[in-house]
Structures are given as C-alpha cells and as structure tokens.
Chain A
Amino acid sequence: MTLLWISLLPILGAMVPLMAGRQSRIQCAWLTAIAPAAALILVLQQAPAVLKGEVLRYSTEWIPQLGLELAFRLDGLTLLFCLLILGIGLLIILYARYYLSEKDSMGRFYSFLMLFMAAMLGIVMSNNLLQLWVFWELTSLSSFLLISFWWQKTEGRKGARMALTVTGAGGLCLLAGILMVQQVVGTLNVDEVLASGDQIRQHPWYTAILIMFLLGAFTKSAQFPFQFWLPHAMAAPTPVSAYLHSATMVKAGIFLLARMYPVLAGTDLWFFIVSLTGLATLLLGAYFALFKHDLKGLLAFSTISHLGLITMLLGLGSQMAAVAAVFHIINHATFKASLFMAAGIIDHESGSRDMRKLNGLIRYMPHTAILAMIAAASMAGIPLLNGFLSKEMFFAETLHQDLLGSLSWVIPALATVAGILSVAYSLRFIHDVFFNGEPIDLPKVPHEPPRYMKIPVEILVALCLAVGIVPNLVVGDLLYAASSAVIGQMAPNVDIAIWHGLNLPLLMSITAVLGGVIVYSQRKRMFRFQGQFQDRDAKLTFEYIIQSMVEGGKRIVLFIDNGSLQRYLLCLLTAIIVIGGYAMLNLQPLKTTREPIPLDAITLVGAFILCCGGLATAFWHHKRLRSLLGLSVVGLVVSIAFARFSAPDLALTQLSVEVVTIILLMLALFFLPQRTPKESTPSRIIRDLSVSGAIGGIIATITYAILTRPVSSISDFFLANSKIGGGGTNVVNVILVDFRGFDTLGEITVLGIAAIGIYKLLLRLRLSMPASDVIGRSWSPERYPMILATVSQSLLPLALLVSVYIFLRGHNEPGGGFIAGLVTSVAVILQYMAHGVDWIKTRLNLDYQRVVASGVLIATLTGLGSWLFGRPFLTSWFDHFHLPLIGDFELASAMLFDLGVYLAVVGATLLILANLGKMTTSYRPLHKEQD
C-alpha cells in the first residue's frame, strides 16, 4: 500500500500548485513540495528493507484477462531512482522558486513538474511492462509541456516538438518490443519477465525484441544517432534542464536498459550494439561539448557524452561494469544537476550564457564560482570527487573486455580520448567563465543570487564531495542493492577506494587530465579548425524530414481519399477481389457431392428472363425509366423463383415489396433527372465492367459451392419444435415471431427508424417539379383517372379482407404480419394514387408515425408480457379454446407480436410513400405542420 502512495502522491501533488497559484510564490513552492517530501519520507521508510535485498511489491488486478494490473515494485534499482527523482525534484522546486520571474506562471510550472515527477516514478516503480510504457509516454508528454514552458519562444516550441517526436517514436518501438515480450513469455509482469531471460534470449524474436527496446531506450537517453534532440531541449527553463537532463528524463532510457539487463544482456548482439553506440555517443558528445559557446549547450553535449558512458558500461556486460554504470548514474545526476543550476544562476544574474562574453565572474560571484568549479571538477574526474571514482571504474572496465578480439585495445584508447575531451570542456567551463579576463558587455552587472537559490547547489556539491571522499559510507549499501537488482543476482562485493595503487586506470586518468589541459590550451586552433565545417542546424534537418514525411503522407491520402465516392468503392471492391479471390485459390475445386437437381425448361426460361432483366437494368441505366422496368422484371422473376423453390412466404413478401419499391422509385424519378448523362470514359467502363464481373464470378462460385456441398442445418430443431413449442405449423412464421422474435423486433425497429429518418429528410425539401417529361410532353391533365378511382375503391375492402386473412392464417399457413402489412399498404397507396391526398385525408386521417410507434410498442410489450409470468423476454404462449358455433380455435401471444409487426410495416411503408407522394401537394411535410 505504501508503494501505491509513493506513486500516487506526486500525481495528487500535481493539482496542488494549480490551486495554490494565487498564493505568493514562496507559499506556492512550499505547498508543492509537500507531496514529494511525503513520498520521499515513505521511500526512506522502506529503504532499510530494500537495502537488505528485499523486493517490495504491490498489485491490484485491473483486467486480469488481458494481463493488465496496477503493479508496483521497489527493489534496489527502483530505490536509487526514487531517491534521485524525489530528492533532486525537491531541490529543483526550491531552485525554481527563485529562477522563475514574476511573469512566469508558477502554478503551471510546478504542476507540469509534478506531473513529470509522477510519470518518472511510475516508470521506475512499475511492475508491469505495459504500465511502465504508459508512464514512459507520460514522461514524453509532460516533458513536452516543460520544454515548451516558454511557449512564446520559437526555440521552445520547436525543441519541445522535436523531443516529443523523437521520444514518442521511440516509445512506439518500445511498445512493439513489450508486446513481443508478452507473446514470448506470456505475461507482462516484470518479475516474471525478469525470470525468463533465457527463454527470451533463445527465442527467434530476440533480435527484434532487443532492437525495439534499444530504440526506445536510445531515443529517450539521446544516444547516437538520436542525440540531436537533447541540445534543442535546452530552450526549456534551466530548472527543467537541470531536472530532465541530469537525473530523470534521459535517465529513463538508462533505467530501461538496467531494468531489462537480466533479460536482454549477455549476448554478443547486446555488446556490439549497446557498447559501441555508447562509445560513439561518448566521443561525439565530448567533442561537440568543447565547441559550444553556450553554457547550457556545453552541458547538454556533456550530458550526451556521459549518458554514452553509462550506456557503454551497461553494454560491456561484466558485473563490475554494471556496478560502475549504476555508480555513474548517481554521480552524474549530482554533479550535472548542480552544474545546470549553477549555469542557471549565472544566466539569471548576468543575463547571458555566452562563454565568449562571460569572463572573470569569480570576482562578482565567488560563492557560486566555487560551487560550480567543484562540480565541474567532478565532471572532469578529478580525485576526491565522485566523478573521479566512477570514471576510474569505467577506465578499469574498458581494460577488462576482450570483445573486439585483437583490436580490444581500441576501446580503452578511445575512452581515454573521451576523458581528455571531458577534462578540456570542464576546464573551459571553469576557466572561461570564472577567470580569463573581464566580462564583455553583459546586459547587467553580475552578482550573487539570493541565498536560498544556492542551497540546492550546495547540497548537491556537498554530496559530490562526500561520495568522493568516503564513498562506501555514503552510497555503498545503495550501490550494492541497486547493482544487484540490475545484474539479477548478488553483485560482486565492491570496495570503492580512492587509491588503488599505481595502476593502468590511474595512468589513464592522469593522461586524461594532462591531455585535457593541453587540448584546452590549444583551443583557439581547434575552434578555427572546427569553424571550417559548415554549421549544420539539426533543427532544420529535422524540420525538413518531418515536412517531407507530411508531404508524402498528404500525397498518399490524396491518392486514396480524393473525395470521390466512386474511388472509395472501387478500392473496397478491389480489396474484396484480392482478399476473396486469394482465399478461394485455396479452396478445393468445385464438384458436386449432392444429387444435382435436374434442370427443366420452365426454370431455364425464368433464368433467361431474369438475366435479360438484370442486363437491361444495367445497360439502359442512362434511360432511367427503362432501367426501372428492367428492375421490376428482375423483382418479379425473383418472387417467382422463391415460389418455385418452396418458399411461398418469400414469394408473397417479394411480390408486395416489389410493388411498393417500384412505386417509390417512380415517385422519386419524377423529381430526379429522367436521364443520366454519359460521363464515363470507355476505359472507365471497361474497368468497372471487369471489377463487377470479377465479383459476380466470385459470388457465383461461392453460391455454387454452397449449393453443391453437403448441408448441415440447425433447422431440424425448428421443424421439430414449431408445433409443440411455438404453436404454429408455418415454421417460417414461427421462427419470425417466436424462435427469433428478438431479431424481428430489432428489424421492425430499424424499419421504423428508417421511415422516420426519411420523414425528416423530406421536411422542408425544396424540389423542382418538371412541367413535362423528357421529350417535352406535358403531364396528363387528368390527375385522378375515373376508371382507376372506381376500381381501386371497390378493391380496397377486398384487399383489406385479404390482408386480414393472410395475417390470421400466418401462424399455420404462408402469410403473417409482414406480408399482410405490405398488402394493406399497397391497397392504401392505390387509393392515394387514384383519389389524391385530399380525398384520403377526409376519410383516413392517420398519423403514420404513431402507427409505427404503436407497432413497435405492441411487439415490445408482448415480449415484456412474458416477464409477468416469470419467463424470459419474448417467450410465447398459446392454447386451444372451444366456442360454440365457431368451434376449436387457437390463441397465441405470437399473434399479438405479429400485430405489432403488421402495424410497424404498414406505418413505415405509408410514412415513406404517402409523404413522398404529398411532395407535389400543399400537404407536403413542413416543420410545424404534419398530418
């Protein structure tokens, strides 16, 4: 539970500064500091147990089926990072109070900082890889906010965007790696993953997993070739730089390497990639640090260089190297944070960070100067300071590897070169800023900062000295616990000593210091040499790459999404051909396994008519009326086909739907152009023909395959239970109203929704009504022909009688609510056509929306009714009764349900057709008026 609080406190703490933003600045800082201070105390409470080698855990299940949990762990490595994050975080809070000016929003800054702190704690404490990844991305996001804190500045925005892009892309790679690990190990739990190192190393995916994890870590830790974002992130306020680029953000990548060390390290591939990348970064960073005139720029490149050093140590793979890496994590965090803060003080109190202007500051700010010089000496690796100890260990480890065969000596040699450069740039930081003559036109006269601004620096410098002089006393236990966690077993017992006797590593250190002094003294020449190279701005290159990616993306999108629906449809259809066709290549050749049904002449004639109708519809689509006639032929033949193949219900339904469909399309055609212009180019027609032909072929093949293979259907159940369970002998109808009544309820609801949607579309529709047909003939002056009126009027009662008959017999004979509803609608529509709206309105004033609603309602209530009897929704009931005169008859609740279906169908059909028909009259639907 304590672990949960440790990680929760900074998240809660992120809200405090927002609320305390109105308070005075010092109050705001103190209030903000409460949460991390409390978390730090909790961590310290747990420390003794962890230092003894225990691993504390906390977890609650979240979605166990997906392996998701909220899990935290606290081992030596986590403890070390927690102390760094919270400890340095607290110092930063104090420092930022004095650094930020009146204009800066204190609350916003602290809130971002706490958010970032919480994210970092989340990374180091997560005991679940996916959870770790979420916090990982959160650091990218919150560091984006921090780097762009001065959003008014272009550099701030650009630097933040670059950092986010690079680390975000790395985060995606990390996610891929995590998911692969999950596939291999079967879990995301860190404990279990750490225990299955061999399994992962032997898996064929190991290379891919390693590369994905390394991409994540290297982008975050600014390793070559991703180092370019870090110097641009220096546009952030200095407290942010001091925090992100000493102890936290960039160390997250290192942490990931250390955390996954037991799983991923120990192979040649690991050594080559990690240590050589580290070496390259170490050298590059050190070299470029020397040529930066900007104080923070120098520190930024030096950070890159030191991160390279740690990465390289982790890559070497020996246990002592891992210990040295952990040790350098601590040391770098302390001296680099204090150096950044010192640089911030200098910037703040002198108004410049340019080392060509800053000179001889020791006379203006002696106190700060001494602190900065000690920290810089530690960075250079001068004895009695912590930087010296870990650098010495680093030199020793470079001597102990023989991974490059006979060329292994190259590594210590290059390490010494990096040491020389590191001494040179540290010397420049000291000499160029604090000595070397007088300041050159600074914006203000430099002076010492407020007393409290120096306290964080003093604490860190004191740590540098303490670790440097009595290392075992100060960090011995912590180092041991953290290294053990990295290695995965007990770390070798290290005795960190200042004096190991006169040996090769010491010689390398001495060479580095002497060489550094020489290089620095020759700096003018080197600057001149470096000046010959063209200065490349990483920002421009980066922007160029991003811009060209955006352009490329746009081009692809424009190609696919050009606004043409025909194009989209073509893409989809092509996909169907490719995917469907490919799948069918693997199917067995078609052969009949069932007894084929012999072909007879009538069916053949029907098929011929059907094909002619279909082709005519497509062929004459420019002449729309003719096309419609073809369509109606197809519909008729289809309904005959249903009758032929033993589906009378379908035949009846299809026939009545056919009538309403054609009426609907005729009505619609009245308002639309009568002809389609010829637009398609011949090549386009050929293309469309081949696409549609291919799909037709695929569908025909599938149909044939279905028809000729043995069929196993669940329909026997329906046939067996229709009478005894549903009380009806027409199995199709019983399925509709009983077995699958829920489906039917859904479908009439959809029907109702469609009808009401259409009604809404017709509201306020402005239509142009053609005065004549295409050829110019005017419409017939007689609107309501006499014969039609007379005949239809006498047909109405007959039609209604038929529909009642079809409805009633539906449960036992072909028929039912759907068909009866359609027949009724057709009869009423005929009256509309024969007599007009006025005539109908006086006789049948129905609100069709209500009819639809009541239909759906009746069907639903029938279903709900079964709840009254303690049965599931839509359970049907039936029984047989006897009345004198009439005889035996059956009553079923399904009839009531079918009545609902009937009403919904009548209402929907009439709502659509009657309203469309009214468009030409004064009764057309408007917003207020309805009938």
Chain B
Amino acid sequence: MEAVFSACVGLLTACGIYLLLRGRTFPVVVGLTLLSYAVNLFLFSSGGLTLDGGTVLGATDIYADPLPQALVLTAIVIGFAMTAFAVILAMRARADLGNDHVDGRVPSKQQASSTSTESRSGEKR
C-alpha cells in the first residue's frame, strides 16, 4: 500500500512539474493544481496511512493522526485561492499583453536563432 501511495504522489508531482514547465499559462495553472494535489497527499502521508480509522473521539477504535488532516484541510482551501489567483492573473495577462505566454511575449524562433547570445542562448536545440 505504501509503495503504491508513494508512486502515485511521485507521478502526480512529475505530471504537475512537467506542466509547470510549459510555455503557456493555462497548462501552468493546471500543473499548479495537480502539484497542489500531490503536495496535499504528501503532507497527509506524514501522519501515516490509517485504514478504517477516524478522528472523532469515541466513534472508532483506531485513530488517524488528526494534525496533518487539519493542516491539509486549510491547504486545500488555500490551494483553491492560489489556483484562482493564478488563473485570473493569466486572464488579465492575456487581456493586457495580447498573448498567453508565461513571459508575456511569444519568443520568435527566427530572432532567437539569429541573435544567439540573446534570450535563448543556453538552450539546447
């Protein structure tokens, strides 16, 4: 069980980070959301995995660790606020700048190849 859980967290992280590295804002926002799922699961796991337990006194025999749950609960809500802020910022950026690239301008490939020391010099092609 632990191995599967960890693998899932790792996969969600990887997918989230891959999307974060994209050049357009919407995939970045989606990646951010995906990453926040992974982070929440990761934080949650710090209390250990408990099956058939609970956090209500007297209702169960096995108690799950309530502290990570409380932290993750607020993290979920704050995560929503962050996603919302990021996506509205993306909308605003697109409206004001005319494109939805994360840099605010679409890098033109011709320019990049002619002036190699400019912005994209270090990139492997």
Q: Which of A558, A592, A644, A735 meets B66, CB within 8 Å?
A: A735
We find that the number of chain A residues with CB closer than 8 angstroms to chain B is 121
Whether B6 pairs with A645 at a CB distance below 8 angstroms is no
- Chain B count of residues within 8 A CB distance of the other chain: 97
- Given the complex of chains A and B, what is the CA–CA distance between A661 and B65 in angstroms? 27
Cβ–Cβ < 8 Å partners of B25 in chain A: 672
B46 to chain A, nearest CB (A): 6
Chain A residue with the shortest CB-CB distance to B34: A617
Answer yes or no: A747 CB below 8 A from chain B CBs.
yes
Chain B stretch 67-82: residues in CB contact (< 8 A) with chain A:
67, 69-70, 72-74, 76-82
Q: Which of B15, B30, B78, B100 contacts A665 (CB 8 A)?
A: B30
Q: Judge if A758 is at the interface, Cβ distance under 8 Å.
A: yes
A555, A566, A750: the one within 8 Å of B78 (CB): A750
Interface residues of A in 554-585 (CB under 8 A from B): 555, 558-559, 562-567, 569-570, 573
| Given A657-B77, A672-B91, A648 contacting B54 (CB threshold 8 A) | yes
Instruction: Tell me the residues in window 597-634 of chain A with beta carbons closer than 8 Å to chain B beta carbons.
Output: 597-599, 603-604, 607, 610-611, 614-615, 617-618, 621, 624, 627-628, 631, 634
Is B45 touching A607 in the complex (CB atoms < 8 A)? Answer: no
Q: A631 CA to B43 CA in the complex, in Å?
A: 20
| A730 partner residues in chain B, CB cutoff 8 A | 55-57
Q: Does A523 reach chain B (CB closer than 8 Å)?
A: no
Cβ contact within 8 Å between B6 and A703 = yes
A624 to B26, CA, bound (A): 8
Contact (Cβ within 8 A) A732 B66: yes
Q: Closest residue of chain B to A695, judged by CB?
A: B17
Which among B22, B45, B59, B89 is the interface contact of A761 at CB below 8 angstroms? B89
Instruction: Say yes or no for B117: interface residue by CB 8 A criterion.
Output: yes
Known contacts: A754-B85, A916-B88. The answer to whether A618 contacts B10 by CB under 8 A is no
Query: What B residues does A604 contact at CB under 8 A?
Result: 4
**B41 CB contacts on chain A under 8 angstroms:** 638, 641
What residues on B are CB-neighbors of A723 within 8 Å?
57
Name A596's closest neighbour in chain B (CB-CB). B2
A803 to chain B, nearest CB (A): 15
Cross-chain contact B4 with A750 (CB below 8 angstroms): no
- A718 (CB) vs chain B CBs: closest residue: B66
Given contacts A604-B4, A671-B91, contact A699 B78 (CB under 8 A): no
- Are A634 and B88 in contact, with the CB atoms below 8 A? no
Q: Which of B11, B66, B85, B122 has the most CB of A within 10 A?
A: B66
- Least CB distance from B87 to A in Å reads 4
Contact A732 B63 (CB under 8 A): no
CB–CB B48/A719 < 8 A: no
A residues touching B (Cβ–Cβ < 8 Å)? 555, 558-559, 562-567, 569-570, 573, 592, 594, 596-599, 603-604, 607, 610-611, 614-615, 617-618, 621, 624, 627-628, 631, 634-635, 638, 641-642, 644-650, 653-654, 657, 660-661, 664-665, 668-669, 671-673, 676-677, 679-681, 683-684, 687-689, 691-693, 695-697, 699-704, 706-708, 711, 713-715, 718-719, 722-723, 729-732, 735-736, 740, 743-744, 747, 750-751, 754-755, 757-758, 761-762, 765-768, 812-814, 818, 822, 905, 908-909, 912, 916
> Can you offer 19 A-B residue contacts whose CB atoms are under 8 A?
A573-B21, A603-B1, A618-B31, A624-B26, A645-B51, A645-B64, A646-B51, A648-B54, A648-B55, A661-B33, A664-B80, A665-B83, A669-B26, A672-B26, A673-B24, A680-B23, A700-B9, A715-B66, A751-B81
| 5 additional contacts (CB under 8 A) given A634-B34, A645-B49, A673-B100 | A569-B21, A664-B83, A668-B26, A672-B100, A757-B85
Interface residues of B (CB under 8 A from A): 1-27, 29-31, 33-34, 37-38, 40-42, 44-60, 62-67, 69-70, 72-74, 76-85, 87-92, 94-96, 100, 102-103, 107, 117-125
